[in-house]
Structures are given as structure tokens and as C-alpha cells.
Amino acid sequence: MPELPEVEVSRLGIRPHLELHTIKQVIVRQSQLRWPVPDSIQQACGQTIERVERRAKYLLLRTQVGTIVLHLGMSGHLRVLDAATPVVKHDHIDIVLDSGQCLRLNDPRRFGACLWVKGEPELHPLLAELGPEPLTEAFDATRLYQRSRGRKSAVKLFIMDNKNVVGVGNIYANESLYRSGIHPKRAAGNISMARYERLTINIKQVLAEAIEQGGTTLKDFTNSDGKPGYFVQQLAVYGRGGAACHGCGHTLSEIKLGQRATVYCSQCQK
């Protein structure tokens, strides 16, 4: 599943081709995605894309009268192509631009989304209750510490909760906790302020490094120019259950938390 760095890499890749260009046509070949593509999406035609932004894992194509909200789901990816490029299987939506190019959404599993939101998209139910962006000053250790008090849930699940901070998906939660020396099953409410300070720094660093290196390549994702990301080469724990810990050489353990693969070192993480 594309996580925040992969979505940000997509945003960076498509932005130069979309901003200040006018939408000539929206072609919907398959409207039954995670939520049905609304007929109102056609209101985007004739509008200029003023900004391409990201909120959590949603991409926002802002125009003067409304915003196209895109989500890549589990298997979606975007390409900027010549509008005449023949479609292939699972090419569900084209946003055709005055440049002769189009933004094409391909989504084999159809868990992605393409919505049209009038007014401020941040007020839409999908976005309204999201926590702060992890790479902004709004996300800090104080917030995590205060929100964790009395929480018995595992800290890994706590930092993956979008109400606490957005975009810390499974891969990056594993990596951040490893760097911080925190056991993923430890109760969120039993972690000190000092350890949350370390964890906050590492969440920011892991995500920033992944964005810089092009996102993490999974079997369903390549970024907007077709080049894979390379952060996967630096993963310390995710996908390495049973291998040796880079820090101490101990065998990494793998369990399920919240039905997600969780890999950790029982010696380095307490």
C-alpha cells in the first residue's frame, strides 16, 4: 500500500505538469472505486489547477471552484502521459489538460478514490478529523505524550492512528520504533516524554529520508515518472523477520499487530 512518502513523491512528480494548467476533460472509465466517482467531477472541466497539495495520503488538485481529491488506495498509481496514449487494463480515470497531457489513474484493486469537493476540502468528513502532518511543527513529542496518557494500546498502533499523526504507515512505524529503541507492543501510555521526543525525531527523519530517496518500492507501486523508489534498500527491520539485527546481530522477531506485520529486535527495543 502506498504510504505517505510514496504519495508525496507522486505529488512532487505530477505537480510541475498540472499546476496552472486547465482541465479540458475528465474521462471516467470505471466509476466504482472505493467510493463511487461522483458525476459532479465534471464541474472540474474548464477550471485551472492552482495548486497540487497533499493531506495525509490524499492528493488535492485545487481549483477556484472546488478540489479533486485523489487517493491511491492499495494499488493505485498516477502517470502524466500524452492524452492520446492508449489505455491499458485498470486505467480508470484521465484528467485531460490543455497541455495535451493527462493525469491517468490506474488502480487494479479499485480501493483508490477520485472525489469532487466544493469549498474547503479540509472540512470534508474524510479529512476533518485527521491529526497533524508529521513533517510540520504541529507534530511534536508533547502532542504524542499528552494523547498517550492512559492508553493501553500498543505504541505501534498508537502512532499509526491518523488522529494522532497522519501518514505513519506500517513500514515507517516499524522503522521509527526500531531507531528509537522502543518495543512495538509497549503500551503507549507507559512511554516517557524523553522516549517520545526520540520517537518524534525518528518519525520525521525516516519519512524525510524516504521522500528524498523516492519512496519505498512495493510490488504495487512505482512513482509518477515510472522510476522505483530506493528506500527499501535501507529498511532495518520491515520485511526482515528472521534475519540478523543490524545493531546487535540478534535474530529479528516478527509478529502481527493490528493484523499488520511487525518486525523488531527484542534486544535493542524495550
Give mean pLDDT in consecutive 10-residue pieces for the chain, a chain of 270 residues: 87 95 98 97 98 97 98 92 95 98 96 96 95 96 97 98 95 97 98 98 96 73 62 87 97 96 98
> For the chain, which residues make up each domain, given as ranges?
4-123, 141-264
Active-site residues: which are they? 2-3, 57, 260
The structure's pTM equals 0.91
Measured CA to CA, the distance from residue 238 to residue 262 in angstroms comes to 7
Measured CA to CA, the distance from residue 134 to residue 35 in angstroms comes to 27
Residue 109 among known ligand-binding residues: yes
What CATH number belongs to 141-264? Answer: 1.10.8.50
The fourth-level CATH superfamily of domain 4-123 is: MutM-like, N-terminal (3.20.190.10)
Residue 151 among known ligand-binding residues: yes
pLDDT of residue 214: 82
Burial 223-244 (b: 16+ CB within 10 A, else e): bbeeeebebbeebbbbebeeee
Measured CA to CA, the distance from residue 84 to residue 90 in angstroms comes to 16
pLDDT of residue 232: 75
- The position carrying cell 479499485 is 110
Q: Indicate if the alpha-carbon torsion angle 13, 14, 20, 21 is positive or negative.
A: positive
Measured CA to CA, the distance from residue 64 to residue 32 in angstroms comes to 27
Measured CA to CA, the distance from residue 130 to residue 60 in angstroms comes to 15
